[in-house]
Amino acid sequence: MKILLTGATGLLGSAIVEAAHQRSLVCNALPRPSLSLHTLSALANALQGYDVLIHAAANTNVEQCEVAPDDCYRDNFLLTELIAIAAAIAKVKMVFISSTGIYGEGQEIPYREYDSVHPPTHHHRSKMMAEQAVISQNPCNLVIRTGWLFGGAAANPKNFVARRIDEAREAMKAKGYIESNTEQRGVPCFNQDIATRILNLTSANWSGVFNCVNTGSASRFEYVRAVIELAGLPLEVRPSNAAAFQRKAKVSNNEMAVNWKMDTLGLPEMPAWRTSLEHYIKNALLAEGVQQ
């Protein structure tokens, strides 16, 4: 299987590159295409000779998407639509990375793939529209809904786990505690687990929409408390509500999901989120000296 990948340096994209190389698969990066009259032909030409295109690039700044929606829809919807059309022209399977956040506030239990979506923000609506474009161009394409990704290099500014450890260390010098939201719930997802499962689904030629998350769920408070505990930091994590965090984007308090489709099809269960978090902190962040 020969892969062309957008977002190759991102949190998930970098894990896909690593997982592909471990399998001796060709996985080349596709730089962000410029939007012009020649975009479709350039993309179709770039796809020649590949078996699959994984589109992992996205505008992930949920707050900024509320301020500049045109940029959000350009990056997440329009570009994805053009890539999907080009993939259809080139007869190349496409895998699109979406978000469990698109489900919205419809229920309080974890979402399954058959639940309706009610995207609560411009970011999530742009991802929903992109999903529709991808499937409409080729029903054999694959859409992956995931969320709350962690992993990667400690130096990455978007590394949630490493930044919480930094925040905890600063708090230990000052007020002696940090606060975290008890109201919002989701599934912390290890980028390596998700990347591995994406390649498994792709190589088996699955299509349609799949939730792809680690097993279990947590509130932001439970998640952050686990990070601090597993990092061995003697710091109190205090509960707070969503109102304490001033946000422009009214994200759903329920971003939980389960892998109903994979489980029903008899695919292997995904690892538990806390097990993968412990592995990541002790074997990756420790190796980089983050806890020293």
Q: Of 204, 181, 172, which Cα lies nearest the Cα of 268?
A: 204
Q: How many structural domains compose the chain?
A: 1
Band the pLDDT of 289: cuts 50, 70, 90: low
pLDDT tens across 162-201, in order? 999 999 999 998 878 999 999 999 999 999 999 999 999 9
Residue 175 token pair: 């007020």
In a domain, 141, yes or no: yes
In a domain, 137, yes or no: yes
Range of the domain at 125: 2-149+189-211
Distance CA 224, CA 216 (A): 15
Residue 244's pLDDT is what?
A: 58
Whether the CB-CB separation of 273 and 193 falls below 8 Å is answered with no
In a domain, 95, yes or no: yes
pLDDT tens across 40-56, in order? 999 999 999 999 999 99
Residue 137 exposure: Cα atoms within 13 Å on the Cβ side: 26
pLDDT tens across 21-32, in order? 999 999 999 998
In a domain, 291, yes or no: no
Residue 284's pLDDT is what?
A: 85
Residue 158's pLDDT is what?
A: 87
Sign of CA dihedral 242, 272, 160, 4: negative
CATH of the domain at 198: 3.40.50.720
Q: Residues 239, 245, 249, 252: what is their CA dihedral angle, to the nearest 10 degrees?
A: 10
Band the pLDDT of 291: cuts 50, 70, 90: very low
Distance CA 187, CA 221 (A): 12
Helix (H) or strand (E) holding 85: helix 79-90
Residue 249's pLDDT is what?
A: 75
pLDDT tens across 115-143, in order? 999 999 999 999 999 999 999 999 999 99
pLDDT tens across 219-265, in order? 999 999 999 999 999 999 999 986 655 677 788 899 999 999 999 99
Of the segments 33-37, 176-180, 276-280, which one has the largest average pLDDT value? 276-280
